[in-house]
């Protein structure tokens, strides 16, 4: 059992998949999606290429598993009764924490962004998935902040929030000394 597998709980299949996902994150982070080979990912995980195909249909499916495992939507612990500015402050603090936590996956996330830009089927899939996420986010937000208190309709506002989150994360990854926690929090508070 390699170091990655030793940290992962679950059955053998779960550990194998998790090891491959972690290895994919490392290799894709170093080389990008297009230059990362399944052979190299398998070797990094201490496995064979057959282990990859036994768990994933292809490199794209493995990549999607990596993104869904390590790049889930940021869900802040909004507070009932708090105003929009306080809710945005909570979101800003959550994004700042996640920026630090996700830094080790920044290169893989950037590789995914590039992949999505150059593959129309992936953009269509992302559009469909994001629309569902935005609907849930808008419903959740108006449970904490009345829609009339938002600067625009909730369905639009959550899209703006997502774009701001993505922009701040990637700018932080590139220039962490310039995009501080205070700046991230202030960016969200400015929306209130």
Q: Where are the domains of the chain?
A: 3-68, 72-189
Averaged over 155-184, what is the pLDDT? 97
Distance CA 27, CA 168 (A): 24
Instruction: Look at residue 14 and give its three-state secondary structure.
Output: helix
Distance CA 100, CA 34 (A): 26
Entry pTM: 0.80
Q: Which pLDDT tens digit goes with each residue over 61-111? A: 898 888 888 778 899 999 999 999 999 999 999 999 999 999 988 888 888
Predicted confidence band of residue 9 (pLDDT cuts 50, 70, 90):
low
Q: Which fold has domain 3-68?
A: Arc Repressor Mutant, subunit A (1.10.10)
Averaged over 23-45, what is the pLDDT? 90
Which of 58, 56, 62, 57 is CA-nearest to residue 23? 62
User: CA torsion 102→108→111→115, rounded to 10°?
Assistant: -100
- Residue 70, both tokens: 């390590």
Interacting residues of 189 by C-beta distance below 8 A, sequence separation 6+: 85, 88, 89, 92
Predicted local confidence at residue 10, as pLDDT: 63
For residue 3, pLDDT over 60 is answered with: no
């Amino acid at each position: 059992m390699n170091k990655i597998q030793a940290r992962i709980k679950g059955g053998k299949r779960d550990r194998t998949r998790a090891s491959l996902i972690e290895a994919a994150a490392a290799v894709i982070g170093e080389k990008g999606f297009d230059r990362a080979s399944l052979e190299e990912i398998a070797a990094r995980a201490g496995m064979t290429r057959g282990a990859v195909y036994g768990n994933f249909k292809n490199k794209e499916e493995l990549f999607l598993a990596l993104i869904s495992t390590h790049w889930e939507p940021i869900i802040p612990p909004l507070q009932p009764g708090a105003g929009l500015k306080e809710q945005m402050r909570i979101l800003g603090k959550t994004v700042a924490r996640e920026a630090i936590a996700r830094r080790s996956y920044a290169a893989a996330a950037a590789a995914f962004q590039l992949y999505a830009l150059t593959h129309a089927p992936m953009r269509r899939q992302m559009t469909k998935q994001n629309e569902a996420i935005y609907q849930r986010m808008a419903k959740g937000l108006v449970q904490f902040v009345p829609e009339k208190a938002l600067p625009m309709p909730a369905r639009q506002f959550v899209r703006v929030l997502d774009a701001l989150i993505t922009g701040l994360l990637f700018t932080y990854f590139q220039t962490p000394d310039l995009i501080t926690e205070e700046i991230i929090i202030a960016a969200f508070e400015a929306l209130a």
